Amino acid sequence: MRIIHSGFYRYACMAYAGILVIVALLLVSLSALHAGEPPITLWPHGAPGALGTTAKDIPTLTPHFPVRTNGTAMLLIPGGSYSGIYEGQGAPFAGWLNEQGITVFVLRYRLGSAGYRYPAQLQDAVQAMRYVRKNAVQWNITTNRIGVMGFSAGGHLVSTLINRPEDGEVASPENVERMSARPDLAILCYPVISMTTKPHVASRQNLIGTSPGDELIRKTSSELQVRAGLPPCFVWHTGEDKMVPVDHSLLFAAALHQKGVPHELHIYQRGDHGTGLMGTDHPWMRDLLFWLRGQGFVE
């Protein structure tokens, strides 16, 4: 019995090791599948008002291509209080969107922590939208099916991109300004919105400084800038968010409603800031897919 047991044990260990190898190979394959291409420098001749030539002064756009494209694209803008770029809101969600057939471009924009104030971040977002649209054909993207998605402070950048793209206007030698910077839809995930009502202090200071004027505060309070004709918006937040109060999304949705902008608002009861990251069981991604199907962005 001991010999049989020993043999069985060795066999089980070998089988288990084989399974681990297969799982590892699958994970490597998935990682390769969702790995981004080399980053594209947004401003080949230098970003406007660049304060240096290191990585923090050079905005980039990293493409993530699906195995099978459905002709749509998404500019993905991670958050980080305008002081950093939270990687967990970049490549993981790019991979998930790729699985839906959407081509994704992750934006690394200039930050307040590196000395850049508004509208430097918006300049980068406008340039990114135009770059994607200008090169859409070579990536098998339909030029009127390009959306934008942002988290937290990245959601604020999304809101300024759709509200006030004119503040990010910069002439460039590549003539990308001939292309529209208007996204065809916008997704805002627990976004920073207001610089007046329960503002997120770190985002506000990094974006507009410690002593901004009234006009600048108003310009960057996105609930005050909504106008008719904006693209359809999907907005979600959680009621328990202690970092960026749910009031931000409620104010923005109310302004969208007042101006007749098509939108969908989801307020989930539970969860603090950052709830619903990849690998968690949260309904917002299912709700978003349902909405994207209605917009013709996924099948």
Question: Are 202 and 273 found together in one domain?
Answer: yes
Question: Are 63 and 204 found together in one domain?
Answer: yes
Per-residue pLDDT at 277: 87
Question: Are 92 and 199 found together in one domain?
Answer: yes
The owner of tokens 């974006």 is: 207
Domain count for the chain: 2
Per-residue pLDDT at 88: 86
Q: Which of 280, 283, 252 is nearest to 269 (CA)?
A: 283
Question: Are 110 and 243 found together in one domain?
Answer: yes
Residue 82: DSSP 8-state: T
Residue 262: DSSP 8-state: -
What is the b/e burial string over 143-165, where b = at least 16 CB atoms within 10 angstroms of the residue's CB? eebbbbbbbbbbbbbbbbbbbbb
β-bridge pairing 233-238 and 146-151: unpaired
The owner of tokens 């009861």 is: 269
Q: In this structure, is residue 204 part of a structural domain?
A: yes
CB distance 182 to 188 below 8 Å: no
Per-residue pLDDT at 35: 53
Element (H, E) at 30: helix 2-34
Q: In this structure, is residue 96 part of a structural domain?
A: yes
Could you list the residue range(s) of the whole structural domain that residue 66 is in? 39-294
Per-residue pLDDT at 265: 98
CB distance 185 to 144 below 8 Å: no
Q: Which of 106, 100, 16, 126 is nearest to 60 (CA)?
A: 106
Question: Are 188 and 215 found together in one domain?
Answer: yes
Per-residue pLDDT at 175: 65
3-state class (DSSP) for residue 57? helix
Distance between CA atoms of 159 and 235, rounded to whole angstroms?
11
Q: Rounding to the nearest 10 degrees, give the CA dihedral for residues 245, 125, 62, 111.
A: -60
Cα–Cα distance list, 245 to 60, 149, 238, 258, 268 (Å): 30, 19, 8, 21, 13
Q: Which of 211, 207, 242, 238 is nearest to 222 (CA)?
A: 207
Q: Is the peptide bond before 119 cis (omega within 30 degrees of 0)?
A: yes
For the chain, list residues with pLDDT below 70: 1-36, 174-177
Question: Are 22 and 89 found together in one domain?
Answer: no
Q: In this structure, is residue 299 part of a structural domain?
A: no
Question: Are 17 and 99 found together in one domain?
Answer: no
Question: Are 24 and 85 found together in one domain?
Answer: no
3-state class (DSSP) for residue 188? strand
State both tokens at 91. 């490549």
3-state class (DSSP) for residue 149? strand
What's the CATH code of the domain at 229? Answer: 3.40.50.1820
Question: Are 7 and 115 found together in one domain?
Answer: no
Question: Are 27 and 134 found together in one domain?
Answer: no
Burial tier of 59 (Cβ tally within 10 Å: 0-12, 13-18, 19+) = buried
Q: Identify the sign of the CA torsion 164, 115, 201, 280.
A: positive
